Amino acid sequence: MRFPPAAGPLVGRCQVPGDKSIGHRALLFGAIAEGESHLRGLSSGEDNLSTRRCLEALGVSLRSDATGLTVRGQGLRGLRAPAGPLDCGNSGTTARLMAGLVAGAGLRARFVGDASLSGRPMGRVAAPLRAMGAQVEGREEGGRLYLPLEVAGGALEGLRYESPVASAQVKSCVLLAGLGAAGPTELIEPAPSRDHTERMLAAMGAPLEAGPGWARVQPLRHPLRPLELEIPGDPSSAAFLAVAAALVPGSALRVEGVCLNPTRDAFIDVLSEMGAQIARRDLGEQAGEPVGALEVEGGVPLRGVRVEGPRVPSLIDEIPILAVAAAAAEGETVFEGVGELRVKESDRIAAVCALLAGLGVEVEAWETGFRVVGQGPNARLHAAAPFNPAGDHRLAMSAAVAALITGEGVEVEDFACSAVSFPGFDQVLAGLQRTPR
C-alpha cells in the first residue's frame, strides 16, 4: 500500500480502538470470575481475538451483540483442558498471560503462534512458573526458550520472584499463577511496568496488594466479581495519530476517550519535551483507569531529546513512532536502555533504523539503543525503496506516518499487519487530512 505525503493538516476529532492490554485482561479475568462480565469497546484487532479464541478452547462462553461482549465466567477451577493447541497468533500477551492462567488453574496446554511470536523469548515466564512447581517445556535454541510451549499446572507454591525485566506480561503471568498457588506470591521488578492487571484484579475483589515496582497476591479464596467495563482507547494507537498531527503544520486534532494510565502515557511527556503542542484534557476515570482526551496542534518545530531510565517501560511500544518524530526534529535524539525492542514482534531497533535510513535519515544502533539525527522541521524525507515491516504492526503504522513528511510518499508492504492493533488505521489517517483551499 502506498502512503502519500500529507494532503493537508490533520483536523477534527476521532477515537482509537479499545486498549488491547486492558482488553486481554478483561477477557482473561472475566473468564475466571463467577457470573457474566459485560465488555464494551473491545478492540476488534487480531491480538484480542487470539485471547478470545484461546478462552473458548478452555470452555469459556463468549457472546457478542450490539451492546458489546458478554463473558460467562467459569471460576479459576472451572476451566477445562483444551482439546488441541492454543493458537496465540501474533500476541505475546496472550501466550504469556495464558501460561500463568493455565498453570494456576491446574491444567495442561500446548501454546503455538505465528512465525513472529515463535521467535519471541518465553523463558522469562517459564522460569517463575517452574519455580512455583509448574512443568514448562518448549523449543530451546541459543540458550533461549520459544514456542511451541507446553505448560502443566499442579500443586503450585507461592514465591517471591525478582524479575530481571520490567514486564507487565511476566508480572501478570506470575500473579495469575499465584491465584491458584498455596501461600502468597510476590513479584519485584527492576522498574515499574504498566499496572492494568493490579487495577483490574483489585477492582474485582482479588486478594492483591501492589505499589510501584512490586505486586503481591494471595491464593484466591472467594470468587472474583464480574466486570462491567467500557474499555478506553489504546494510548499506543493514539500515539501514531498524535505524532502525525504534530508533524503536519496547521493540524488541530483531538483524540477522545484515551486511557491515560500513568504507566502508559510517558510518550506524551516525551513529545512535550520535544516541543510538540500536546495536552491531556477532560480527565476522568473508567473502571479504575484514568481516561481523557489528547489535543495536538501541528507546526511547532521539534527538538531532539534523550529517552532513557525508569520511564522506558511505560513508553516502550511508542518508541518506533517517537523515532519518526525524532527524524523531523532539530538535533539528535538518543533512545537508551531500550534493548527490549529487540525481542518484540520484530527486532524493532533494527527495523526502525532501517525505516529511517531508507528515508535518508542518519541513524546509529547498538545492542541496547539507537540514535536519530533529526533533519529539521523543513526537511523532506525521501523513500528509496518500499518498506517491509516484517509483519510488525507498529513498524507498518510508523512508516505510514513517516510518509506524511516525505516528498513522494512511502510504499509499505503487507500493511494488513496493522490490523493486529488498529484495524482501519489507513482510513482514519486519510480521513483526518483536510486539503487546503
**What are the residue numbers of the active site?**
317
- Please check whether residue 45 is in contact with residue 20, taking contact to mean a CB–CB distance below 8 angstroms: yes
- Please check whether residue 360 is in contact with residue 382, taking contact to mean a CB–CB distance below 8 angstroms: yes
Residue with cell 496488594: 209
The cell for 88 is 496465540
Instruction: Give Cα 358 distance to the centre of its chain.
Output: 26
**Do strands 11-15 and 252-259 pair parallel, antiparallel, or not at all (unpaired)?**
parallel
**C-alpha to C-alpha distance for 383 and 128, rounded to whole angstroms:** 45
Q: Where are the alpha helices (DSSP H) in 116-224?
A: 123-132, 168-179, 196-203
**C-alpha to C-alpha distance for 315 and 267, rounded to whole angstroms:** 6
Nearest-10 crossing angle of helices 319-327, 348-358: 20
Neighbouring CB atoms inside 10 A of 115's CB total: 9
CA distances to 196, 312, 318 from 192, rounded to whole Å, are 12, 10, 17
**C-alpha to C-alpha distance for 23 and 27, rounded to whole angstroms:** 6
Please list the helix, strand and coil fractions of the chain in percent, rounded to the nearest 5, in that order: 35, 30, 35
The cell for 128 is 517463575
The cell for 21 is 492490554
**C-alpha to C-alpha distance for 419 and 215, rounded to whole angstroms:** 32
Position 269, amino acid? D
- Please check whether residue 182 is in contact with residue 219, taking contact to mean a CB–CB distance below 8 angstroms: yes
CA distances to 241, 244, 380, 393, 403 from 388, rounded to whole Å, are 21, 20, 21, 11, 14
